[in-house]
Amino acid sequence: MKNINETIRSLMESVAGLRAAIVIDSDGIPIAMEGDIEMEPQDLGALLASAFQCYQALGDSLSQCYCKLVCAEYDGLNVAQQMMPRGSLILIAEKSLPMGVVRLTANTGRQILTEAMETTAEARKKFMEKHKISLPKNPGIEDPTQTISLLSFLEKKKKG
Amino acid sequence: MKIVGDRVYLKLIFFGAALAGKTTALEWIFYHVVPDEMKLVKELRQVKTSFGQTLVFDFAPIEISPNVVTRMFSATGQDYYRGTRTKVLADSDGIFMVIDSQKKALELNRDILQEFEKCRKEMNGLSDAEIVVLYNKNDLEEIYPMDYLRENLNLQSWEGFSTCALTGNNLEESLVLMLKKLTSKLQKEGIHLG
């Protein structure tokens, strides 16, 4: 089965006009991202998650329990945010790609990704149970003295 | 606390009544305390109303250690938008409770604390969040002292500082205390910071 990155990459390849595809978790933490966007993934994730939460809150007030999809049409882009278990899939498309196609692609992606997300959740759960969420070594940092936390930085600063 | 890939994500919230100084405190910490190399964005992301108040949140992700990202939010204090305020609180690991020390704000503080207590009872995991109280606006004249507010608002169980978000007074100390609490929490889970 394809993983999350492979899935959104193949979505991008199969539909001409898609500029980017992003998967975020329910809090907006970016899980996977493909394509061309000039935004920090963290920033993008936080905005998208809060926008979706606003629509969910509106739905709650209208006695609707589940917001499935939010679409936004801009001057030069079409955006669809598709709800999934524990997160959402966002597709950003050129204006020339009809919104109907963007929605359909998002829905198709959701079905594939739902399975992938469940697999990820299970793997993560096992990983956490096994390692008590100890983290792997950061491969980019060979010298441990070069790593410093914000707390260490502030305490050293205070000592002068 | 969430794990995505090889990163641990923590969520830190500035919570409090309208105009208590949540955004100002977050801005001060982001622009004056956190070194640039630990910021994951150059500028705070702010979603504001047309009249300049926080609509949904202010947001700043920082990497407090390799592999540990703290996502700092300030929730809106405006009651008109309380529907989104409680959403921002979900899954928080740490909360800066920002108290407006001005005498005229006493009841507003009480109201927001009641709302917060309700959320703590109803929202999963929120009762485990670390809390540091910022008794803010200590530069003004018509204020209650920290000790009075602590007792009157029943905040004795949480550590806190008398702060001024405009000048940054005691904000760094507050952040250090919060980071110590979060670090201790992470260490219990087997994660050690540099």
| pLDDT tens digits along B8-67 | 899 999 999 999 999 999 999 999 999 999 999 888 888 877 777 787 788 999 999 888
- Looking at the predicted structure, is the pLDDT value of residue B110 above 80? yes
Beta bridge partners of B60: B72
Residue numbers of B between 115 and 134 with CB closer than 8 Å to A: none
Mean pLDDT of B74-96: 85
What CA–CA distances, in Å, run from B9 to A83, B60, B64, B186?
21, 13, 10, 11
Q: Which residue has the higher pLDDT, B32 or B82?
A: B32
- Looking at the predicted structure, is the pLDDT value of residue A136 above 70? no
Complex confidence, ipTM:
0.80
Q: Return the pLDDT at A121.
A: 60
Residue with token string 């959402």:
A88
**Across the interface, do A42 and B66 touch by the CB < 8 Å criterion?**
no
> For testing the chain A interface, which of B11, B56, B92 should be mutated: the one with the most A CBs within 10 Å?
B56
Q: Return the pLDDT at B193.
A: 66
Q: How would residue A75 be classed by pLDDT, with cut points 50, 70 and 90?
A: very high
Radius of gyration of chain A (CA): 19
Q: Which of B57, B88, B176 sits opposite A151 (nearest CB)?
A: B176
Q: How would residue A133 be classed by pLDDT, with cut points 50, 70 and 90?
A: very low
Is beta strand B130-136 parallel, antiparallel or unpaired with respect to B94-100?
A: parallel
Assign domain A4-137 to its CATH superfamily: Dynein light chain 2a, cytoplasmic (3.30.450.30)
B51 domain-assigned: yes
B139 domain-assigned: yes
Q: Return the pLDDT at A147.
A: 55
Residue of chain A whose alpha carbon sits nearest to that of B65: A149
- Residue B66: which CATH number? 3.40.50.300
B193 domain-assigned: no
Q: Which residue has the higher pLDDT, A7 or B102?
A: B102
Is beta strand A69-73 parallel, antiparallel or unpaired with respect to A77-84?
A: antiparallel
**Across the interface, do A25 and B6 touch by the CB < 8 Å criterion?**
no
Query: To the nearest whole angstrom, how far is the Cα of A91 from the nearest Cα of chain B?
Result: 21
**Across the interface, do B66 and A154 touch by the CB < 8 Å criterion?**
no
CB B6 within 8 A of CB A136: yes
H-assigned helices in B29-170? 82-89, 106-122, 146-152
- Looking at the predicted structure, is the pLDDT value of residue B137 above 90? yes
Of the ranges A115-119, B28-32, B43-47, B129-133, which one carries the lowest mean pLDDT score? A115-119
> CB-based burial of residue B17 (10 Å sphere; 0-12 exposed, 13-18 middle, 19+ buried)?
buried
H-assigned helices in B29-156? 82-89, 106-122, 146-152
**Across the interface, do B193 and A151 touch by the CB < 8 Å criterion?**
yes
Q: How would residue A125 be classed by pLDDT, with cut points 50, 70 and 90?
A: low
B7 domain-assigned: yes
B15 domain-assigned: yes
Q: In this complex, is the C-beta atom of B78 within 8 Å of any C-beta atom belonging to chain A?
A: no
* B25 vs A79: CA distance, rounded Å: 34
Residue with token string 């919230």:
B13
Specify the number of domains making up chain B.
Answer: 1
> For testing the chain B interface, which of A4, A150, A156, A157 should be mutated: the one with the most B CBs within 10 Å?
A150
Mean pLDDT of chain A: 82
Radius of gyration of chain B (CA): 16
Q: Note the pLDDT tens digit of each residue in A14-50.
A: 999 999 999 998 888 888 899 988 888 888 888 898 8
- Backbone dihedral region of A129: left (phi > 0), alpha (psi from -120 to 50 degrees) or beta? alpha
Q: How would residue A124 be classed by pLDDT, with cut points 50, 70 and 90?
A: low
Residues 6+ apart with CB under 8 A from A51: A70, A81
- Looking at the predicted structure, is the pLDDT value of residue A138 above 50? no
* A146 vs B65: CA distance, rounded Å: 11
Q: Which residues of A touch B83 (CB under 8 A)?
A: 57, 61
Q: How would residue B124 be classed by pLDDT, with cut points 50, 70 and 90?
A: confident
